[in-house]
């Protein structure tokens, strides 16, 4: 869709502003007590702005992407910065102290929308910085806390479950349809099948096997969480991390796995909601 494409990419000025935001929130500086170069590896050295831009592009809702772009454009406005923070100049052209003052004015503003804008930028920047290794498969933050990095993959991998994919009008007969295979749906399926019912499960999440679980936080946020783990409430004031996968969001949150057979329709639109067309359900109440 043209609208989706127009809100997926940053303009050069928005990208320059994003670079400056990342550098302001995560600067690099030298200190004697930094054996792992954690403080010396700032956003620029870690390639944070590149990842942040990709994260913005991965947000499913075009309106949410447009809001992030608008926020960057406001920070790029000299007049907006003068009116809102008392600093005249585009954000990327300001000195570091002035950039910090602008961001503090957003963080402590009496206006909830401005505070939400700051939280969105802070969350975006820190996820982009901390969630992927920087070089040689490791990260200075991991080394600083003694984290060795991902464990080797086990010799015996667990294959993905084999769903039945529906890509055309199809009639399936069953006793019960369960929408969602998480904690509620999975238990319902177990109880119903144990009682001899023929059950079909509808699930929209991906269907990973053990080889797909890279143990890299950024990879897993992108594949097992809505909007790469960046989902926020509509007001933007609070994060709402929602897992979704081939055994429901509970698999992500509780590390469980349901051994059930899925029916997974192929999505025909960019909408996050399932659209069931011409469905006929015969309800039987005992």
User: Which of 94, 118, 145 corresponds to the end of one domain?
Assistant: 145
In this prediction, residue 5 carries a pLDDT of 45
The answer to whether residue 230 is domain-embedded is: no
The answer to whether residue 253 is domain-embedded is: yes
Neighbouring residues of 283: CB distance < 8 A, sequence distance ≥ 6: none
Same domain, 93 and 201: no
In this prediction, residue 60 carries a pLDDT of 80
Same domain, 141 and 251: no
In this prediction, residue 149 carries a pLDDT of 87
The answer to whether residue 49 is domain-embedded is: yes
The answer to whether residue 279 is domain-embedded is: no
Same domain, 20 and 132: yes
Same domain, 15 and 117: yes
In this prediction, residue 282 carries a pLDDT of 44
Same domain, 59 and 172: no
Same domain, 10 and 136: yes
pTM metric for this prediction: 0.72
Range of the domain at 49: 2-145
Same domain, 103 and 130: yes
Same domain, 88 and 189: no
Same domain, 80 and 183: no
The answer to whether residue 233 is domain-embedded is: no
Same domain, 191 and 58: no
In this prediction, residue 111 carries a pLDDT of 92
Rounded-to-integer distance, Cα 204 and Cα 244, Å = 8
In this prediction, residue 18 carries a pLDDT of 97
Same domain, 78 and 117: yes
User: Which of 100, 118, 145 corresponds to the end of one domain?
Assistant: 145
Q: Using an 8 Å Cβ cutoff, are 100 and 121 in contact? A: no
The answer to whether residue 203 is domain-embedded is: yes
In this prediction, residue 51 carries a pLDDT of 92
The answer to whether residue 190 is domain-embedded is: yes
Q: What is the pLDDT along the chain (286 residues), one digit of tens a residue?
A: 334 444 458 999 999 999 999 999 999 988 888 999 989 999 999 999 999 999 898 888 888 889 999 999 999 999 999 999 999 999 999 999 999 999 999 999 999 889 989 999 998 999 999 989 988 889 999 999 998 888 888 788 777 777 777 778 888 888 888 887 777 887 888 888 888 888 888 877 777 777 778 888 888 777 777 766 666 666 656 666 666 666 566 655 544 333 333 344 333 322 223 333 334 444 443 4
Structural domains in the chain (count) = 2
Same domain, 72 and 196: no
CA-CA-CA-CA torsion sign (29, 31, 35, 39): negative
The answer to whether residue 15 is domain-embedded is: yes
Rounded-to-integer distance, Cα 156 and Cα 161, Å = 15
């Amino acid at each position: 869709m043209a609208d989706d494409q127009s809100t997926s990419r940053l303009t050069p000025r928005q990208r320059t502003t994003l670079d400056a935001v990342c550098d302001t929130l995560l600067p690099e500086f030298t200190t004697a007590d930094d054996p792992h170069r954690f403080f010396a590896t700032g956003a620029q050295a870690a390639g944070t702005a590149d990842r942040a831009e990709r994260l913005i592009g991965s947000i499913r809702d075009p309106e949410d992407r447009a809001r992030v772009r608008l926020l960057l454009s406001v920070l790029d406005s000299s007049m907006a910065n003068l009116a809102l923070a008392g600093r005249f100049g585009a954000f990327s052209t300001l000195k570091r102290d002035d950039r910090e003052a602008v961001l503090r004015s957003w963080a402590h503003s009496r206006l909830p929308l401005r505070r939400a804008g700051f939280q969105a930028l802070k969350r975006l920047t820190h996820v982009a910085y901390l969630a992927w290794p920087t070089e040689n498969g490791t990260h200075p933050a991991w080394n600083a806390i003694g984290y060795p990095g991902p464990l080797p993959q086990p010799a015996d991998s667990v294959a993905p479950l084999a769903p039945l994919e529906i890509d055309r009008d199809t009639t399936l007969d069953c006793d019960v349809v369960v929408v969602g295979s998480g904690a509620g749906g999975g238990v319902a399926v177990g109880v119903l099948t144990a009682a001899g019912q023929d059950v079909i499960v509808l699930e929209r999440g991906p269907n990973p096997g053990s080889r797909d679980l890279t143990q890299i936080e950024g990879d897993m946020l992108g594949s097992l969480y809505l909007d790469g783990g960046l989902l926020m409430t509509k007001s933007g004031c609070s994060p709402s991390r929602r897992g979704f996968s081939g055994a429901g969001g509970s698999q992500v949150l509780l590390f469980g796995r349901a051994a059930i057979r899925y029916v997974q329709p192929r999505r025909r639109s960019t909408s996050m909601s399932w659209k069931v067309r011409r469905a006929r359900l015969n309800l039987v109440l005992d």
